[in-house]
Chain A
Amino acid sequence: SAVISQKPSRDICQRGTSLTIQCQVDSQVTMMFWYRQQPGQSLTLIATANQGSEATYESGFVIDKFPISRPNLTFSTLTVSNMSPEDSSIYLCSVRVRSYNEQFFGPGTRLTVL
């Protein structure tokens, strides 16, 4: 399996500011992903974080709003830029472990934008 940690666990931010969320994995993984879970909703994939290249974004998500870094095989960051109250969500990092054919999820970062 994989143990994933995220920082911060929660934050309250002001409109127009940016927040960077960190995701750390205890082993090297090829694939890392970022999801958003809006209040009372299901999870939506934001992007796939590729090591050594730009992230691959899903429809409706753009790099200017959600820049992602992946400097190595155990770490990634997601920035939520120029925040508005609509960005209030839980942001989750996940990794795919090929040998298990499943994805493991971090505990999430609960973001509130005022």
Chain B
Amino acid sequence: AQSVTQLDSHVSVSEGTPVLLRCNYSSSYSPSLFWYVQHPNKGLQLLLKYTSAATLVKGINGFEAEFKKSETSFHLTKPSAHMSDAAEYFCVVSGGSNDYKLSFGAGTTVTVRA
């Protein structure tokens, strides 16, 4: 079985300051990990993915995430938040015998203060 836990349901940051969204995963196999973003009334967009290559993964819009097997974590960061980053973020895991099935975290709502 696989699952993810997003440690923060809501993160509020000031524009121009760093963003950190925390995610821990559980998987019996070598997982693939993803971060998706969902803007209000918009579809899901893939920010980045880890699929057993480099542990530091760079994504779109200045986001990156680091896979740490020893900590079973896949935290998402961005050095400088922009107002357009206000959205819902989902950490997602797939892996194991049914490696196409995605398990979504509960989501983290990001608000950006001017």
Q: Which residues of A contact B (CB under 8 A)?
A: 31, 33, 41-45, 48, 92, 96, 101-108
Contact = CB atoms under 8 A, between A and B. Distances in A.
A11 to B, nearest CB: 15
25 contacts: A31-B100, A41-B106, A41-B107, A42-B90, A42-B107, A43-B44, A43-B90, A43-B104, A44-B104, A45-B102, A48-B100, A48-B101, A92-B43, A96-B100, A101-B32, A101-B49, A101-B51, A102-B46, A102-B49, A103-B102, A104-B46, A105-B36, A105-B43, A107-B42, A108-B43
Given A101-B32, A101-B49, A102-B49, A42 B44 contact: no
Interface of B: 32, 34, 36, 42-44, 46, 49, 51, 90, 100-102, 104-107
Residue with the greatest number of chain A CB neighbours at <10 A, chosen from B34, B101, B107: B101
Interface SS of chain A: strand
A92 B106 contact: no
A92 B102 CA distance: 13
A12 to B, nearest CB: 16
B105 A106 contact: no
A106 B105 CA distance: 19
B90 A102 contact: no
Given A101-B32, A104-B46, 14 more contacts: A41-B107, A42-B107, A44-B104, A45-B101, A92-B43, A92-B44, A101-B49, A102-B34, A102-B46, A102-B49, A103-B100, A103-B102, A105-B44, A107-B43
A22 to B, nearest CB: 16
Contacts of A104: 46
Contacts of B36: 105
B1 to A, nearest CB: 12
